[in-house]
Structures are given as C-alpha cells and as structure tokens.
Amino acid sequence: MHKHLYRKCGLLLFFFCLLPVLNAQITSFKQNSITIESLFDSLTNRTSIDIAYDVNAIPHDSLIRADYSNQHALQIVQDVLKNQAIEISYLNGQIVISKAIESSKEEKSIRLTGTVFDQNDSTKLPLVNVSITNKPLGSITNSQGQYEFKLPKTYKGEQLAFSFLGYHTAFCPVPGNDSIINIALQATSIKLNEIEITYKEPYEIINNLQLHHENNYHNKQAVLEGFFRESIKQDGDYVQVSEAIIQIIKPSYSSPSHLERVKFIKGRKKNDLQSMDFVDFKLEGGPFQFSRVDIARYKDFFSIDNNLYKYSYDGIDVLDEEIVYKVKFRPRNDDGNLLYNGLLYIHSESFALVRSEFNLTKKALRSSGKSLIRKASRKIKVKPIQASYYIDYRKLNDKWILNRIEGEIVIRINDKRHRINSEFSAVTELLISNWEINNKIKLRPSELYKSKYVLSDHIQETDEQFWKNYNIIRPDEALEKVFKKTKVVSK
C-alpha cells in the first residue's frame, strides 16, 4: 500500500507551543508598469503572506503602476482591486480573493432539506447519496439521515435521486421552490439467477477490478468543489469544529504519479466550545492529506504489484438497482507495519470500486504512534486506539467519480503531571459537491494549501453570507446543539 494513505489524517499534538511569524508582512514596492499577477507574486515572495485568487475574478493580466511605501500586503491588495466586484478576506497569513456573491444568487437557487429513512422500521439512514441524475451536483445525509441540498433553479424538473447500499433508489422531480422532501427507501430483495448467487472467486474479482480500471474512471484532469469538516472531541465533548470550502485539482486516474493539489476558498470554525485541558490537540494538513485519499486512483489494496493482502468473498449487495460484490481484505503478514483490514465493494458489471471501509490492524495501531502523531513532550503518553476510514464513489454517466471520504482517529492521552487521562477523537469529512472535467485550471504555488497547515489556525473569521450558497454536510443533532450553544455564548 502506498505510504501516502496512512498519513492522510496526520495528527499534530502541540503542548503550549506557539509558532511565531518569522517573515515581515510590511513591504515597500515601486514599479511603473507591472501586471497584477506579477505584483501579487512579488508580494508573496517579499512577505509571509500567501495570496490566493480565482483568475476569473480579477484582471490579473492588467498592467498597473505600483507605488507603495511601508504598507501591509493586505492594504496593497485592497488598493489595487478597489474598483473590482470581488471579496477579499485575510485568514491567518493568507489573502483570499473571490468573486463577489450576487445578492440575487439566493433567489436563483433552490434549497432542499429533509430526512431519509427505512420504509419498514423508520430507521434514519446515514450516508445516503442525494444527487441529480446525470449531473455533477451531489450531497449526502448525515448520521441522523438529514440532508441539505442547494441547486440552481434551472434544475427544476430534473430527477432527484436518493441511493443507498441495499435499498431501491428513489426518485422525485426537483421542485421549483425551497422544499422539505422526506424520503422512505425500501430495502431490496435480490433476485438473481442461480449461478449468480453461488460463490465467486475473490481473486478473479480483484483481477477484473485491475483490468477494467482504465474504463471506469476519467483519464483527464478534473476540478472538484468540496466541503471539508474537522471535528474534535475530548472525552465525548466537542472542543473544536472547523469547516472549509476547498477546490481540488484531481489529475487523471491513469496518472497516479501526478498528485492532487488543493486551494482553500473560505472557512469557518467554532473553537470556544470547551477548552482542551492542558493539551493543544490539532490536525495537520487535513484538506491537503484528504485530497489524496483516493484508493481507486492510487490502487491501494488492489494494485497488480501489491502482494500485501489476502482476499475473501463476502457475498453481494445492491447499489442503484445493480449488484456489487463484497470482498474482504487483510494483510498476508500482519507484522506491525501500517497495514489495514477492510472491505471492498465492486460493481458486478463494470468491476469499478464503488466503496470501501478499512481500518488499521491492531498490531499496526500499536506501532503507529510516529506515523499518526507528533507530540511536543516525551513525558506525555499517547496511545492510538482506532484509525478507520470510509470512501465511496458515485456514477456520473458511464464513469465513477469521488463522492465522499470520512476518517476517524481515536487517541488516549495520559499526562500524570497534569492529571490528564483523556480520550480524543477526531473525525474528518470530505464531501465532493460539484465536479467538472477541466484541463486548463492551474494553481500557482502561492495558492496551494500546504501539508503543514492546520485548518483551525488557518481560519480567522466567518462569513455566513458566503456559506448560504454552498452545499455542505448537514450537521448532526449533537453538532447543531454545539453551534446553537456557541451562538448563545458569543452574545
């Protein structure tokens, strides 16, 4: 398995550690003729501030005269773009420039909410895919079966689909206005020919997964819009929640050596929920790391050259009215290296990998400390308890695209000096809400979200108006209470 996978949820533990800003943010600049793009590149090189912007939002090729003396980079950017219809935000050392949100945008969109549940026993169903047939927009239900889906009014009358493993897909037309749509899904009763319900050779399924890989995924660069959330609990209580809208440049699935790149668009956080007792627990590189958790692209667990795992057949299930094979995998030799146990869901006709659940083995957990955790004190005892992941894909036309990733890491921290014996759990979620083939978009180094960034530190302010126009994973009931509680405290 590729090394990058088990570093996806890199956990960073700081103990009373603050990193000072080393580079100056004030600069002087004078040039009679320079493009806006070149000016911004110069500001990035001269200061500690990254400048990220949408090339379609500003006239980046325009020539201007720049004459500034002892000014903050933000002041220079604001002055240069003062006549442009854009939004500028300054978030912990990064200037983000985006198109101004039109006041009429909300009126041109439809907001759908509701709950998806089992028709027989009314159980609320999590992780149900909510999408528009043959369109790139999508959302999912949370652990309470609730969803929130925003789409353009031009989608009125399109087919809204609710699909879930083991259930018949439900359809309904997109209404013309904001609506509450509750959906009851009916469990499937699988009707197969006798030969199809017999045992399937797992290695034959894995071999077909490898052989059909090129036909099942895109061989061109795609641009993904994603909603990203990190939530941290200490002994069951939320201590921090951070959310962000990100853009992911995903190279061709036939070129795994080309790595994904991420651009931070805007974020918000709640970090005044409950203080972490003596422990500053942080997640490092979240969006950067999770953009590269794509086991279908990197062929983790099923590479032709991978002889690390054994496979066993685990029966069948139904997704979107079609059969999927279930294949379990486990290490051939669980020697304490970072290896996984898990389950692959493979489409029976196309042999595409459509879903996977996997976790570090018990032996791997015992030796995973340095790979998952960095800590600032040798006197602190840190014990990993769980590291689990979930990933799925959805079909768009005749190809499969990344849909959702979730990771959870649970750690026990013991500090006898401060009488702390706490269990920290960190859940990271990535929802791909929009997707398009685009070979033209490139991200410059100053725009990239770096592997050492900590999302919660990268966010300074919340623009609620901005968030009204984006698809997110609706917060669970517990999270909703956290947000309401925080609002009361802030008043």
For residue 452, give both structure tokens. 């050492």
Q: Is the pTM of this model over 0.75?
A: yes
* Helices and strands per DSSP (H, E), number in the chain: 11, 26
Exposed, middle or buried, 67 (CB in 10 Å: 0-12/13-18/19+)?
Answer: exposed
**Amino acid in position 220:** K
Half-sphere exposure (Cβ direction) of 185: Cα atoms closer than 13 Å: 31
Q: What residue spans of 179-273 are helical by DSSP H?
A: 202-211, 213-216
- Which of 426, 4, 491 lies closest to 241, judged by CA? 426
- Which of 244, 250, 252, 253 lies closest to 226, judged by CA? 244
> Residues 58-77: what's their mean pLDDT?
88
User: Which has more pLDDT, 484 or 102?
Assistant: 484
**pLDDT tens across 297-339, in order?**
999 999 766 788 999 999 999 988 889 999 999 999 988 788 9
Lowest mean pLDDT among 16-30, 139-153, 186-200, 233-247: 16-30
Residue 306 in contact with residue 2, Cβ under 8 Å? no
Residue 123: pLDDT band with limits 50, 70, 90: very high
- Give every strand in the sheet of 261-270, ordered side by side: 261-270, 237-250, 222-234, 420-437, 399-415, 381-396, 353-360, 340-347, 322-331, 309-319
Contacts (Cβ under 8 Å, ≥6 apart) of 93? 21, 48, 49, 50, 458
Residue 101 in contact with residue 465, Cβ under 8 Å? yes
**Amino acid in position 384:** P
DSSP for 336-360?
A: SSS-EEEEEEEETTT--EEEEEEEE
**Amino acid in position 467:** W
**Amino acid in position 474:** R
Please give the pLDDT value at position 271.
Answer: 62
For residue 302, give both structure tokens. 């099923």
Return d(Cα 215, Cα 350) in angstroms, integer: 8
Return d(Cα 344, Cα 337) in angstroms, integer: 21
| pLDDT exceeds 90 at position 206 | yes
Residue with token string 């909603």: 227
User: Which has more pLDDT, 276 or 359?
Assistant: 359
Per DSSP, the three-state class of 39 is helix
For residue 196, give both structure tokens. 């199809």
Residue with token string 């009358």: 157
Please give the pLDDT value at position 194.
Answer: 46
| pLDDT exceeds 50 at position 387 | yes
CATH 2.60.40.1120 for the 106-185 domain, yes or no: yes
Q: What is the mean pLDDT of the chain?
A: 83
Residue 149 in contact with residue 163, Cβ under 8 Å? no
For residue 285, give both structure tokens. 């590189």
- Which of 164, 139, 213 lies closest to 321, judged by CA? 164
User: Which has more pLDDT, 10 or 166?
Assistant: 166
Per DSSP, the three-state class of 441 is coil
**Amino acid in position 79:** D
Residue with token string 């061989």: 219
R_g (Cα) of the chain, nearest Å: 24
Please give the pLDDT value at position 439.
Answer: 84
Residue 15: pLDDT band with limits 50, 70, 90: very low
Return d(Cα 235, Cα 220) in angstroms, integer: 45
Phi, psi of 441 (to 5 degrees): -70, 130
For residue 255, give both structure tokens. 């070129």
Residue 487: pLDDT band with limits 50, 70, 90: very low
